[in-house]
Amino acid sequence: MDYFLSEDQLMIRDLCRQIAEERVKPVRAELDEKEQFPRELMKALAQADLFGLIIPEQYGGLGGGCLENCIAVEELSRACVGVSTTFAASFLGAYPIILFGSEEQKAKYLPIIASGERLAAFALTESAAGSDAGAIQTQARREGDEYVINGSKQWITNGGEARIYSVIAITDRSKGARGASAFIVEEGDPGFSVGKKEIKLGIRASATAELIFNECRIPADRLLAREGMGFVVAMRTFDKSRPGVGAQAVGVAQGALDEAAAFARTRKQFDKPIITFQAVAHMLADMATKVEAARALVYSVARFVDSGAKDISKASAMAKLFPTDIAMEVTTNAVQVLGGHGYMRDYPVEKMMRDAKILQIYEGTNQIQRNVIGQELNKEYGRAK
């Protein structure tokens, strides 16, 4: 099904599918095994102008929206979520600049992100501040024409590989969450360094690292929006990016379904292909139906986001919650269909199952998504008494 995609959107899909098939699939197992950052693949995506996908045209991008991002991310995730995470995380780092940057900030940073010359990253999470983002401890104080940042960020995707970071820090602790602000930090800023690189269950091709700020000095004009807007920047960014996580889930679930169905047609037991057994056929049928349902939701929400609607938090949370739960279910069932083969690294479904797990966790756990949806429902149906 083409889901009423435009000609340009179909071109994006076909281009990303070609790159995934020809460039990503042949190396995904090696990248995973070696925990190797996919630099050559990022260069290939840059040469295809895909890093400009969501960047406005006046800054060297293609001017696409949430749907175009979801289409591209889905196709890359069908081959490898580690690769798609590296790609998508640069957009996550760019969104605060797109949404809240000054004209000068946009002109300086967006063209180099769009070209793929420099990767971006988003830094909010800390060791004691995950779901409770208001608990962040990293602080920034104003000193003349500079801000001085102290603290650390944990589990930052593209950490150590990105050269441009959107960072959330507290500027006025007395105001609680309203005392947070957003800044642009560059690789090489004095006092900024990269700490431990994490060893992970899945998405091993992506870089996940600690960021350390020790009297890190940046020019005052790197403040995004104004002081106190940090959590607004973060939440608006997640509203835009969460459907992309849903698209990753659709992609990896589709990839697992592809592998499971192909295996079931060739694997014989009792002299019959196992796809002819009702138990297996029904499992595959449920997997296929849920993948299509997840895709339809992601595309629908992406179009809603691109419509310019203001209140998108509930829909965005749904587009992250449902597909990622489905991805975990479908990849686990794909391993089951392949049986002992599925548990071995010779087949890609065990990697897909490992990769799928993080989708239920990053950019807001699925428990947090349910909170968001519940809070919005409470508003819609009237405050509970």
Q: Give residues with Cβ within 8 angstroms of 283, minimum separation 6.
A: 333, 336, 337
pTM recorded for the entire structure = 0.97
The question of whether 161 is a catalytic residue gets the answer: no
- Say whether pLDDT at 177 is over 90: no
**Helices of type H across 20-119:** 28-34, 39-47, 66-79, 81-100, 103-114
Strands 164-170 and 120-123, how do they pair? parallel
Q: What is the mean pLDDT of residues 246-258?
A: 98
Which pLDDT band holds residue 246 (cuts at 50, 70, 90)? Answer: very high
More confident residue, 130 or 317: 317
- The 10s digit of each residue's pLDDT in 22-76 is 999 999 999 999 999 999 999 999 999 999 999 999 999 999 999 999 999 999 9
Domains along the sequence of the chain with CATH: 7-119 (1.10.540.10), 121-228 (2.40.110.10), 231-380 (1.20.140.10)
Residue given tokens 């930090």 in the structure block: 185
Q: What is the mean pLDDT of residues 196-211?
A: 98
Q: What is the mean pLDDT of residues 109-136?
A: 94
- Say whether pLDDT at 216 is over 90: yes
Average pLDDT of the residues of the chain: 97
| DSSP-derived secondary structure for 269-331 | ETTEEGGGSHHHHHHHHHHHHHHHHHHHHHHHHHHHHHTT-S--HHHHHHHHHHHHHHHHHHH
User: Are 232 and 225 within 8 A, CB to CB?
Assistant: yes
Which pLDDT band holds residue 214 (cuts at 50, 70, 90)? Answer: very high
Structure tokens of 265? 């047609």
Which pLDDT band holds residue 3 (cuts at 50, 70, 90)? Answer: confident
What is the SS3 assignment for 355?
helix
How far is Cα of residue 190 from the mean position of the Cα atoms in its chain? Answer: 29
Of 68, 74, 259, 363, catalytic:
363
- The 10s digit of each residue's pLDDT in 127-144 is 998 888 889 999 999 999
At residue 130, the pLDDT reads 85
At residue 2, the pLDDT reads 78
